[in-house]
């Protein structure tokens, strides 16, 4: 992924590479496609539109505050779910490594402990 060129396909491939992740389209009305969500055990950790570019990502309050302070041009408080720690991220404006780190942190908060431990064991 390059800054300014995060495609939905790249985002999808990265999320689906994380253990236990599945994709589910939601909130469509049959006539218009809905948002794309990435989940573990049907718990959402990332929501994006059909074209990517931006995403709402699950963080905790500490990470949310850190991201808002460090990247005020690229990260914002997510409507509706921001009070739970979620942020909106302009995926095209951040370094891909930072984006991946945010996504992996969201996945870690969502995945079962055994799944995270297995992932960590392979990452060594």
Show me where the domains of the chain are located.
8-113
The band of 2, judged by pLDDT with boundaries at 50, 70 and 90, is very low
More reliable by pLDDT, 29 or 74: 74
Q: Is the pLDDT of residue 78 over 50?
A: yes
* Buried/exposed code over 20-40 (b: 16+ C-beta within 10 A; e: otherwise): bbeeeeeeeeeeeeebbbbbb
Return the CATH number of 8-113, one of 3.60.15.10, 3.90.1150.30, 3.30.460.80, 3.40.50.80.
3.90.1150.30
Give the pLDDT confidence score for residue 31 in this predicted structure. 65
């Amino acid at each position: 992924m390059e800054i300014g060129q995060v495609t939905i396909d790249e985002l999808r491939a990265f999320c689906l590479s994380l253990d236990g992740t599945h994709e589910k389209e939601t909130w469509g009305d049959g006539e218009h496609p809905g948002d794309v969500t990435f989940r573990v055990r049907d718990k959402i950790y990332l929501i994006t539109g059909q074209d990517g570019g931006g995403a709402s990502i699950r963080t905790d309050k500490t990470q949310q505050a850190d991201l808002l302070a460090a990247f005020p041009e690229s990260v914002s408080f997510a409507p509706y779910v921001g009070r739970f720690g979620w942020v909106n991220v302009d995926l095209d404006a951040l370094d891909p490594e930072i984006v991946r780190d945010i996504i992996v942190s969201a996945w870690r908060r969502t995945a079962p402990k055994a799944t995270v431990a297995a992932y960590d064991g392979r990452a060594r």
